[in-house]
């Protein structure tokens, strides 16, 4: 008994000594980061970029667990900027999100970030101001643990990213105007002839019948894909050595398939957190995720580590070793024509009942979903009060039978597993795998105490590719309230993706459990891929008091509305920040136009738009003979309801031989009909009405046939057919027949 007590005292003294020594060994690690706008040359021609300390990417910031980081960010640009420490647990005022964490770093100013390093692993940093991340404001972070778990002879960072010479604001404006140019540019455009060539016309027109847009899995056509700032680079290693690769997807919008030519990769970490090791030949990394892998160098030679863009439009290479080169294998491009019709009605166009998340009533009542890849949920008791877009509903553990069992009874929910196995959504096959979430398993238990209250919040991920609007619960950030939570509860986000794109959802200031079928050892992550037409469940302990950003990490999706603020009810915002917070919710306006200039007529439009409001001026003018011309103008304000419908009011201006300078008020609506037929109906102030139908037939990605029919109670029938060929983003050739003005040819200008 005496010896046991003596041992306890000795062990206690050792513990006290270690706790006392640990802070003494901790260091204040300082960095200076200077952000500047300058000319760069990544593709062979000069372009404007934003650099950190003169380079893209910025320098690697290295710390040890327990250090204090002190980082001075100097803004040498003429616009505001910021740096967010992606995945790091920091105080709210150090998180680096303008108008949430702090005011932007003003032009010519310096801001000093200082925070304790509370973790270890691989992370990264980037600007959270406008679209600066796309221009080059990003870099890696490496934090060494107190005790290393894995041996590696060499340790390298591989930060992969995407680059466009185009101004990012121009990119977003191109996306906003509904242009298919980027798909055409990178060879992923869908067409009738393309579907016929593959024997998939049925799938093509079934998609059209369901009013679904052409599918794509990446929005932008990039000029280069980079690894550590270069399309191709080399790292030293000798045969037989173990190399640790700290892989960071620091791109603006690109997912990458990762593969090492020298053999299997052993995955040992995800988002900075250690996982139980497993081997993988190839896997998909989502935007803003990180993975740590070990590779064993084979016999002499240089072996390629390749990051291939998810859409197959290019790749970045890192050659590891020296000597004869051994390339990684090519990855087949996705087949985007596969039938998605059975997804659409169930998972996109309809709201699911409370708690069902796209499952049938029978499945919900049964409470067990044993199809491979489906969520296995056990009992659904307590889910009846799940939030549907309004205020979240706390679920006390005594009424939610999830409690202790949710760690083992939840798994990853796909909308339709059989379709996923048959080249659904984005052409996913064993050669084109998704992220390896089914294998991610924490090295230690992550389940929460069973007696903690649970708040379940249902979030639908919605979007409209034609107008490039991205929403959570059918609302953009500009229209939303915060997601309100309470300190001390478990918060569960049930994210239902009703779009045909992957969305990497990132929560600032926290790690969350990805409920993936690993029970108590579900992995901890800060960013999770929510795959097309699927549901993903995450949950976190609300123990980081503050206001935190939650958003899709596809940069242009976030900028277009797919974001929210997570607000702790117990947190009080300081007055200075409260005064500028409205800037976060500003809804940007975009302008574009089109003009058809033909030998027999001219027509076109000018549009000024934000998320909901669309101001449009249209014109049409033609001539039958030299001295006989007539024109019509329409000015209207549209209010966007969803991708199927808008309502509008405006004026119709006419200058016709029998109705000189006639003006009518109009009130009507647009509606998208099956087969993606655009319809427009209005009534006017003269007691008349008009109905217009328009259909585009994409024959090839560049060749479009457009038919239009219109009936007006004043002027009766009018119609046109045109064939246009896209030469450039701003320019097309066009041949047109019009029922009033006969045949003509000319050009279309887009701006």
In 3-state terms, what secondary structure has residue 434? coil
In terms of Cα–Cα distance, which of 501, 518, 499 is closest to 447? Answer: 518
Torsion of the alpha carbons at 162, 163, 168 and 174, rounded to the nearest 10: -80
Distance between CA 607 and CA 376 in Å, rounded? Answer: 48
d(CA 116, CA 67): 6
CATH topology of domain 149-173+221-333: Immunoglobulin-like (2.60.40)
Q: Hey, what's the torsion of the CAs at 693, 179, 476, 581, to 10 degrees?
A: -140
Model confidence over 707-722: pLDDT tens digits?
999 999 998 899 999 9
Topology at the third CATH level for domain 359-430+446-578? Immunoglobulin-like (2.60.40)
Same fold across 24-142 and 149-173+221-333: yes
- pLDDT by residue (tens digit) across 81-104? 999 999 999 999 999 999 999 999
Q: How would you classify the pairing of strands 68-75 and 28-40?
A: parallel
CB half-sphere exposure, 250, CA atoms < 13 A: 38
The answer on pLDDT for 183 being more than 60 is yes
- Token pair in block for residue 663: 């003006």
Reported as a single tens digit per residue, the pLDDT across 523-554 is 999 999 999 989 999 999 999 999 999 999 99
Going from N- to C-terminal start, the domains of the chain cover 24-142, 149-173+221-333, 359-430+446-578, 590-750
Are 420 and 428 spatial neighbours (Cβ–Cβ below 8 Å)?
yes
Segment 251-290, tens digit of pLDDT = 999 999 999 999 999 999 999 999 999 999 999 999 999 9
Closest C-alpha to 270, from 118, 441, 132, 399: 441
- Topology of the domain covering 24-142: Immunoglobulin-like (2.60.40)
Between the CA atoms of 430, 436, 438 and 440, what dihedral angle is there, to the nearest 10 degrees?
150
Measured in whole angstroms, the distance separating CA 27 from the mean position of its chain's CA atoms is: 37
Query: What pLDDT shows up at residue 31?
Result: 98
- d(CA 142, CA 246) in angstroms, rounded, equals 8
Rounded to two decimals, what is the model's pTM? Answer: 0.88
- What average pLDDT does the segment 24-43 reach? 92
Sign of the dihedral defined by the CA atoms of residues 564, 566, 567, 569, in that order: positive
> What CATH number should be reported for the domain whose range is 590-750?
2.40.160.40
Q: What is the DSSP letter of 199?
A: T
16 Cβ neighbours under 8 A, 6+ residues apart: none
pLDDT band at 381 (very low <50, low <70, confident <90, very high): very low
Over residues 129-155, mean pLDDT: 96
Q: Taking CA 540 as the corner, what is the angle to CA 534 and CA 542, rounded to the nearest 5 degrees?
A: 140
pLDDT bucket at 25, cuts 50 / 70 / 90:
low
pLDDT recorded at residue 623: 82
């Amino acid at each position: 008994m005496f010896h046991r007590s003596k041992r306890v005292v000795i062990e206690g003294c050792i513990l006290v000594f270690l706790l006392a020594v640990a802070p003494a060994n901790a260091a204040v690690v300082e960095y200076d980061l200077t952000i500047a706008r300058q000319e760069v040359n990544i593709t062979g021609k000069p372009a404007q970029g934003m650099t950190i300390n003169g380079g893209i990417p910025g320098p690697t910031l290295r710390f040890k667990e327990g250090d204090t980081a002190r980082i001075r960010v100097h803004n040498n640009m003429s616009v505001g900027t910021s740096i967010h420490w992606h995945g790091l647990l920091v105080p709210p005022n150090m998180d680096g999100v303008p108008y949430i964490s702090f005011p932007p770093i003003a032009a010519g100013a310096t801001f000093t970030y200082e925070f304790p390093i509370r973790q270890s692993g691989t992370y990264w940093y980037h600007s959270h101001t406008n679209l600066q991340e796309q221009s080059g404001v990003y870099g890696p972070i490496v934090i060494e643990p107190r005790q290393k778990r894995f041996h590696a002879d060499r340790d390298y960072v591989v930060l992969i990213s995407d680059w466009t010479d185009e101004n990012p604001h121009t990119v977003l404006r191109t996306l906003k105007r509904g242009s298919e140019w980027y798909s055409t540019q990178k060879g992923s455009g869908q067409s009738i002839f393309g579907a016929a060539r593959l024997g998939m016309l049925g799938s093509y027109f079934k998609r059209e019948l369901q009013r679904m847009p052409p599918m794509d899995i990446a929005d932008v056509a990039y000029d280069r894909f980079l690894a550590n700032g270069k399309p191709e680079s080399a790292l030293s290693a000798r045969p037989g050595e173990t190399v640790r690769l700290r892989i960071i997807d620091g791109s603006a919008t690109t997912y990458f398939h990762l593969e090492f030519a020298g053999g299997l990769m052993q995955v040992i970490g995800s988002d900075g957190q250690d996982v139980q090791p497993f081997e993988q030949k190839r896997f998909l990394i989502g935007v803003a995720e990180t993975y740590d892998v070990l590779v064993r160098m084979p016999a002499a030679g240089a072996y390629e580590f390749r990051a291939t863009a998810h859409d197959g439009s290019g790749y970045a290479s890192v050659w590891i070793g020296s000597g004869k080169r051994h390339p990684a294998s090519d990855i087949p491009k996705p087949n985007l024509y596969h039938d998605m019709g059975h997804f659409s009605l169930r998972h996109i166009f309809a709201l699911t009942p409370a708690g069902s998340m796209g499952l049938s009533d029978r499945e919900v009542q049964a409470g067990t979903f044993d199809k491979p890849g489906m969520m296995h949920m056990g009992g659904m008791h307590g889910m009846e009060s799940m939030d549907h877009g309004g205020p979240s509903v706390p679920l006390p553990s005594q009424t939610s039978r999830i409690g202790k069992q949710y760690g083992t009874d939840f798994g990853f929910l796909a909308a339709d597993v059989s379709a996923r196995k048959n080249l659904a959504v984005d052409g996913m096959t064993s050669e084109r795998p998704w992220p390896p979430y089914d294998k991610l398993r924490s090295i230690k238990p992550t389940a929460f105490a069973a007696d903690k209250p649970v708040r379940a919040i249902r979030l639908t991920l919605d979007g409209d590719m034609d107008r490039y609007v991205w929403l959570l619960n059918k609302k953009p950030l500009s229209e939303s309230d915060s997601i309100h939570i309470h300190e001390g509860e478990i918060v569960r986000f049930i994210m239902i993706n009703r779009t045909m794109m992957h969305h990497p959802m990132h929560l600032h200031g926290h790690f969350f459990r990805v409920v993936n079928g690993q029970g108590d050892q579900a992995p901890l992550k800060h960013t999770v891929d929510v795959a097309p037409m699927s549901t993903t469940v995450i949950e976190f302990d609300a123990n980081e008091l503050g206001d935190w950003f939650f958003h899709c990490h596809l940069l242009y999706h976030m900028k277009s509305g797919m974001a929210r603020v997570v607000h702790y009810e117990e947190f009080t915002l300081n007055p200075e920040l409260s005064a500028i917070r409205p800037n976060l919710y500003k809804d940007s306006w975009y302008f574009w136009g089109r003009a058809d200039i033909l030998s027999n007529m001219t027509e076109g439009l000018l549009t000024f738009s934000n998320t909901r409001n669309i101001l449009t001026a249209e014109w049409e003018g033609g001539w039958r003979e030299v001295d006989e011309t007539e024109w019509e103008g329409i000015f209207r304000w549209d209010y966007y309801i969803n991708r199927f419908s808008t309502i509008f009011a405006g004026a119709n201006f006419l200058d016709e031989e029998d109705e000189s300078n006639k003006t009518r008020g109009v009130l009507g609506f647009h509606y998208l009909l099956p087969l993606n037929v655009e319809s427009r109906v209005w009534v006017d102030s003269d007691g008349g009405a008009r109905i217009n139908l328009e259909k585009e037939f994409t024959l090839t990605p560049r060749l479009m046939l457009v038919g239009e029919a219109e009936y007006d109670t004043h002027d009766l029938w009018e119609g046109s057919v045109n064939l246009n060929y896209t030469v450039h983003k701003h320019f097309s050739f066009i041949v047109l027949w019009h029922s009033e003005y006969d045949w003509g040819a000319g050009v279309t200008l887009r701006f």
